[in-house]
Amino acid sequence: MSLKIEKIPFGSMPDGRTVYKFRMTNESGAVAEVCNYGATLVNVKVPDKTNKLVSVVKGFPSVNGYLADRTFGTYLGATCGRYANRIAKARFVLEGREYILAANNGDNSLHGGIEAFHTKYWDFEVDEEYVHFSCESQEGEEGFPGKLKVRTSYGWSATNELSILYSATTDKATPLNLTSHAYFNLAGSGNILTHRMKFHADRFIPILPDAIPTGEIRLVKDTAFDFSEFKAIGKDIDKQESQLINGAGYDHCFVINKEEYGGLALAVEVFAPETGCGLKVWTSKPGIQFYSGNYLRSELPASDGKPLAYREAFCLEPEFFPDSPNQSGFPDCILQAGQTYNHSTIFQFYVED
């Protein structure tokens, strides 16, 4: 059997438009589900060490949960943009002009603003290998320059690799940083503190108390951020280090070890001893944000029938570095008119006995 893709009604937008969930089932029976509200990753079910399917991505049973969740700022499973992560003081200067953005995280802009890509109804198209979502962002939307056309495509392989392909074009130079805000729990339930994690990153980006980068890039060695060998997430998370205090746990961008910009690199590996389910994240981006679910919560129950809870899931968000439009020492995040933004992420699921 090749990849099977089903289109399933998932509820309605406030204006009555039907939202659809797309269930991708591979030949081994593993499942990945996405929906066109927010171009969202809804669920992934993969076999554990006993060959039982385990739901390893947190989601809601209908679009109603996502509509409510957006008011909490959890961004559950969403495609975030125009600029994932934070831009300081909700402003930046580009080509001599200052742009004022929507401030939705104190004085800062977070994940593109108030009505950003995570709140959009995306158009959809399905072929034999991918579910494609597309949308447009108009000039001045949330304060950003240029009219932008964006496409997020999800693929699901026979070997349980979830591919996310991003592409975009603009008619005017603009910062662009698209990522997936999926929440993972490879044990299926409970907190994520026993998960064992290894980063292929020797450096990380320190933050101020409002989560804006200080501008420096620091070695992880001799800090709680040293995951150079597999280590339980909970081992150092409550240490009284200033960076852990600033993030209320881990909420930091790690600088991926890679020789040059572009091309896929292995960023992180993580697995849950309880189930043997593991995950490797490959990306073309220079950084990856690790968020340990320090503010995770919800009013409506998730797909397992329970509300989302503190540190019950973690995020691994491939990205340009936070606040790059204001940080001259960080990699260039500006998409120019006439260029095409092409980035990809692979969430590679595996199992260990």
Active-site residues, by number, are 181, 317
Q: Hey, is 136 helix, strand or coil?
A: strand
Q: Is the peptide bond before 82 cis (omega within 30 degrees of 0)?
A: yes
* Region of residue 39 (left: phi > 0; alpha: psi -120 to 50; beta: else): left
The neighbouring-strand residues paired with 340 are 169
d(CA 285, CA 256) in angstroms, rounded, equals 8
Q: Hey, is 330 helix, strand or coil?
A: coil
**Which are the contacts of 88, defined by CB distance < 8 A and separation ≥ 6?**
107, 108, 212, 323, 326
Check if the beta carbon of residue 302 is closer than 8 Å to that of residue 296: no
Local structure of residue 236 (DSSP, 8 states): S
Show the CA angle centred on residue 196, arms to residues 40 and 165, nearest 5°: 30
Q: Which two tokens stand for residue 148?
A: 């932008």
Determine the residue type at 68: A
Local structure of residue 108 (DSSP, 8 states): B
d(CA 133, CA 84) in angstroms, rounded, equals 18
Q: Give the CB-side neighbour count of residue 88, counting CA atoms within 13 A.
A: 17
d(CA 270, CA 347) in angstroms, rounded, equals 11
User: 19 φ, ψ to 5°?
Assistant: -95, 140
